[in-house]
Amino acid sequence: MISSKAYAAFSAAKPLRSFRLERRDPRPDDIVIEIAYCGICHSDIHTARGEWGPTAYPCVPGHEIVGTVVAAGKKVRGFKPGDLAGVGCLVDSCGTCKPCRASEEQFCQKHISFTYNSTEQDGTTPTQGGYSTHIVVREKFAFRIKKGVPLARVAPLLCAGITTYSPLKRHKIAKGHRVGVVGLGGLGHMAVKLARAMGAHVTVFSTSPGKERDARKLGANDFVLSTKPENFGPLANTLDFVLDTVSAKHDFTPYLMALKNDATMVLVGASPDASEVIASSLIMGRKRLTGSLIGGVKETQEMLDYCFRKKIYCDIELIPAAKINEAYERTIKGDVKYRFVIDAATF
């Protein structure tokens, strides 16, 4: 077994604290990664606090993981010790169902092994995430990281990057499209960067007037303060696409009204509470409201390679492990620009 220092949640109501984690010995198709950095995603907070259903404690969160390969099984062909590698939201899947065969492992119909608060394919062994010094993962679910990139800023691409890249790509966003981004947080700021790189005209919707300057600095063309209903009037039927990144309850209707006929709004922020929508906002204009979940292994590597070519990285605040609980509270308040990343050397 491989001993790893970590931080874990032990209950929904208590702060995370130090934990000694035992990782499995590498199998023939495994690599061992010495973690350098791990991002803090809002999903980590929801899970640690039991807001998305039952959490198996102790739970080590973290699915935005980058580091260095320190060992590789005898069947591994794509990695060798010294290579940079990343791990995202998944560490395994059945590999045989229709979605898995289509490289959409995130929709595995038999058993998805999420990076934490899940189980291995045996259905019993708990998975534990990247708030730790090491992780052991199947080669198939590890990602190649280009040397020379700002590694700490790459880590959040493994969730925030793919979560926003996938729907933008699937809906063929390109030059001339008018895209709305709801929320300017960890996901939203990546959505702005990626949509602009694809050539879109980007409008940011935010409840925080102080974020206008940052929105424009990140590449947004327009900014709308969404707390004032009158600001939506001029936008009626003007947008080709809306990407909603907000993970709290809110009304979808104003954003649907801003869409053109036959246009689509995609949800990537998952609120624990039900949000609202008026049926006529979908009926009038034949508009679509849908969702998107991260991306498969193939698409995630594609996203990374795209970001490396375009030099698109997350804006982060690097913290020591001792500040994880403080970072949770600040994330909930929106007091981060725009992703906390843990320095694993501080565990």
311 and 250 belong to one structural domain: no
Q: Which of 291, 309, 327 is the last residue of a domain?
A: 291
pTM attached to this predicted model: 0.95
Q: Which domain CATH number covers 81? A: 3.90.180.10
Question: pLDDT averaged over the chain?
Answer: 96
Domain that holds residue 189: 161-291
Q: Are residues 207 and 130 in the same domain?
A: no
Question: 150 and 8, same structural domain?
Answer: yes
Do residues 151 and 255 share a domain?
Answer: no
Q: Note the pLDDT of residue 316.
A: 97
Residues 313 and 237 in one domain: no
Residues 17 and 151 in one domain: yes
Share of the chain above pLDDT 90, in %: 94
Q: Number of folded domains in the chain?
A: 2
- Classify each residue of 234-263 as buried b or exposed e, where b means 16 or more C-beta atoms within 10 Å of its C-beta: ebeeebbbbbbbbbeebebbbbbbbbeeeb
Same domain flag for 285 and 338: no
By the 8 A CB rule, do 103 and 140 touch?
Answer: no
Q: Are residues 251 and 210 in the same domain?
A: yes
Residue 26 has pLDDT above 90, yes or no: yes
Q: Distance between CA 322 and CA 333 in Å, rounded?
A: 19
Domain boundary (291, 312, 335) is at 291
Rg (C-alpha) for the chain, rounded Å, is 20
Residues 314 and 276 in one domain: no
Q: Identify the band that residue 260 occupies on the pLDDT scale cut at 50, 70 and 90.
A: very high
Asked if 138 and 249 sit in the same domain, the reply is no
pLDDT band at 59 (very low <50, low <70, confident <90, very high): very high
Same domain, 152 and 225: no
Whether residue 59 is found in the same domain as residue 107: yes
Residue 216 sits in a domain of what CATH number? Answer: 3.40.50.720
The pLDDT of residue 319 is 98
